[in-house]
Amino acid sequence: MNPPPLIDSTEDPHPSLSDWHDYEPNLEFDDTELSHPSPEPGTTTVFDDINYSAEFEIPSEDEIIKTTLEADNYEEQLTMVGHDENAIRKDFKRRKFIEFIGTDKQGQPIIAIYACRLPERKDLNSNIFIDFIIKSMEEFVQNDYIIAYFHQGMKDNSKPALQFLWNSYKELDRSFKKNLKKLYVVHPTTFIRMVWFFFKPIISEKFKSKLIYTSSLDELKQSLGLNTLKVPDPVREFDEKINNGTRYTLRGSKSSLKSSRSLENIPKSAQFGVSLRFIIENSACLNCIPPIVRKCVDHLSLPDVVETEGIFRRSGNYARIKELRAKINAGEEVQLSTEDTHVVASLLKTFLRELEEPLLTYELYDDITQFGEWKTEEQRSRNVKQLLRERLPEENYELFKYIVEFLGKIMERKDFNKMTSSNLAIVFGPNLIWPKQEQMSLDEIGPINAFIDYVLQHQDDIYFVDINKKDRGAYD
């Protein structure tokens, strides 16, 4: 059986990416679903697919609790005391079992969870573990986001009990569940299927479209639109073993765009996937502002549009964004007045994300990720002004200033659109700067977002004098 085609539109359910994953359980727990019929205790259920076939006796609820708590010593875990909490958190951070690995082709942040790096059960303080997960993800889950769970490499002594999974889930607030748009399960095993089987009676139908299985890292990269994907060695080695070196072309990725440039000429009308300098040289740009950026900003600044709740936080229809992108690059005129607000907002983010080099440049990446080290207001003000006024190329400076001023208008209507400077920084940070080769880490995304947040809050001071790039030496 050939794998089904990828579906680009976020409004359509995503099928399994790998042909041998034919069992798609529900994942989202929902108390309203408890009235659904469930397997009777003591009955026998058969798992039957091309990878696994066996019979299981359905245990009673008491037996499930007994085997998952007592046998795995989870009573001890739930009452662990006397541990040094800071040492435990430091160990969790060192393990890097949860990481930010970039944004997908719609600009949604991607959180990776690696089972091979999870701590052993005997060393696990459940309360601290759940709190660590929540705090690692909380700045992303207020907006649409994606999880990629890499199951390969999980050790037997790290497998969680069912009761622990259920208790952990109940600790998550609504935003974690509501704003999760896709859950990719990479290299799933029978253990995953068993977990979902036992939870099936208490999970919701609406989660089905969010769940995607894949047995290939290249399929995952293609679906997410990632150029590179750095994973732990056990995951990479297992993937190479089962896929025999099979590789896929990443359609629409920066790598494929760059490789195609040697084979075909880019139309001079192109504004997506090219450099800012290319656009300025080939399009009618007033003050270094690309036409599509000005068109998006003009539309999104309209009174009835700027107050749209969740503007920039919600993703637009990807199929429509892709269609508009193609028309613009072909030099066709597009009318944004008839488009959905979230489509136009996503189009602007797509433009920034697909620039050949980030708007804030590779050169400034290391400096911006040190923002948290600037402790005093005087130091932050001086360093931010110096970076933006002295080290950004003129065209980058003008476009960044234009976008910051526009986002200031969005912030003015935060009582309606719910987009504070912090929310906007989380959305725009990864679209304004990223590293040249490595994936962005959780340790780096925090300072980047804080830097953008600072600029948004202090833009009147930073841009008090409109400085000409040719003479940008002095400032207060």
Q: Would the pLDDT of 403 be above 90?
A: yes
The backbone region for 408, taken as left when phi is positive above 0, alpha when psi lies in -120 to 50, beta otherwise, is alpha
Integer Cα distance of 158 and 191 in angstroms: 12
Q: Would the pLDDT of 39 be above 80?
A: no
Integer Cα distance of 140 and 118 in angstroms: 21
The pLDDT, as a whole number, for residue 378 is 95
User: Any residues with CB less than 8 A from the CB of 51 and at least 6 apart, and which?
Assistant: 20, 190
119-171 confidence digits (pLDDT tens): 988 777 778 888 898 888 888 888 889 999 999 988 888 887 777 777 777 77
Q: Which long-range contacts (CB under 8 A, 24 or more apart) does 82-91 make?
A: 83/125, 83/128, 85/125, 85/128, 88/125, 88/128, 89/128, 89/132, 91/119, 91/123
The pLDDT, as a whole number, for residue 19 is 39
The pLDDT, as a whole number, for residue 122 is 78
All domains of the chain in start order, with CATH: 85-241 (3.40.525.10), 276-463 (1.10.555.10)
Residue 208: pLDDT band (50, 70, 90) is low
What's the first-to-final CA gap in the chain, in angstroms? 67
Residue 23: pLDDT band (50, 70, 90) is very low
Higher-pLDDT residue of 88 and 168 is 88
Angle at CA 220, nearest 5°, toward 216 and 225? 145
Q: What percentage of the chain has pLDDT greater than the value 90?
A: 46
The pLDDT, as a whole number, for residue 428 is 95
Q: Which of 50-59, 197-206, 342-351 has the lowest mean pLDDT?
A: 50-59
The pLDDT, as a whole number, for residue 161 is 75
Tell me the average pLDDT across 293-314: 95
Higher-pLDDT residue of 250 and 223 is 223
The pLDDT, as a whole number, for residue 34 is 35
3-state secondary structure at position 100: strand
Residue 225: pLDDT band (50, 70, 90) is confident
Of 24, 49, 9, 13, the C-alpha closest to 214 is 24
